[in-house]
């Protein structure tokens, strides 16, 4: 079991993608700024830009959505953007249940 830089959680075989995380050695405040205004807006946009260059962006976003990571930038998406994805997925799941 290994740990990553900014993602200081234990890695299991399923999330070895974190070994390739471009953000492993970046300042955590860039990906987890305090607040959503002022300096935090600049940090969030810079973090999202770095994510576009990361080869595990899909795995990262899936992990964040599957494990309900509420804070920070994951997979190129901000907290609000991930909440919007969750709302859409929940609505789609409800619609699928109603139609079956």
Per CB under 6 A, 65 contacts ligand SF4: no
List the one residue from 33, 73, 78, 82 that touches ligand SF4 (CB under 6 A). Answer: 73
Locate 98 and state its tokens.
């109603």
Taking the C-alpha atoms of residue 81 and residue 100, their distance in angstroms, rounded to an integer, is: 29
Which alpha helices (DSSP H) does 33-78 contain, by range?
Answer: 39-51, 57-66
Per CB under 6 A, 43 contacts ligand SF4: no
Per CB under 6 A, 33 contacts ligand SF4: no
Count of other CB atoms within 10 angstroms of residue 33:
23
Site residues, ligand SF4 (CB under 6 A): 21-23, 31, 50-51, 54, 56-57, 60, 73-76
């Amino acid at each position: 079991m290994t740990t990553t830089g900014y993602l200081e959680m234990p890695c299991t075989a399923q999330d070895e993608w974190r070994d390739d995380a471009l953000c492993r050695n970046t300042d955590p405040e860039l990906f987890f700024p305090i607040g959503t205004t002022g300096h935090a807006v600049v940090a969030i946009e810079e973090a999202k830009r770095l994510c576009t260059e990361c080869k595990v962006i899909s795995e990262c976003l899936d992990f964040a959505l599957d494990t309900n990571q509420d804070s920070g930038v994951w997979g190129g998406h901000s907290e609000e953007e991930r909440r919007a994805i969750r709302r859409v997925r929940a609505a789609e799941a409800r619609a699928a249940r109603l139609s079956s």
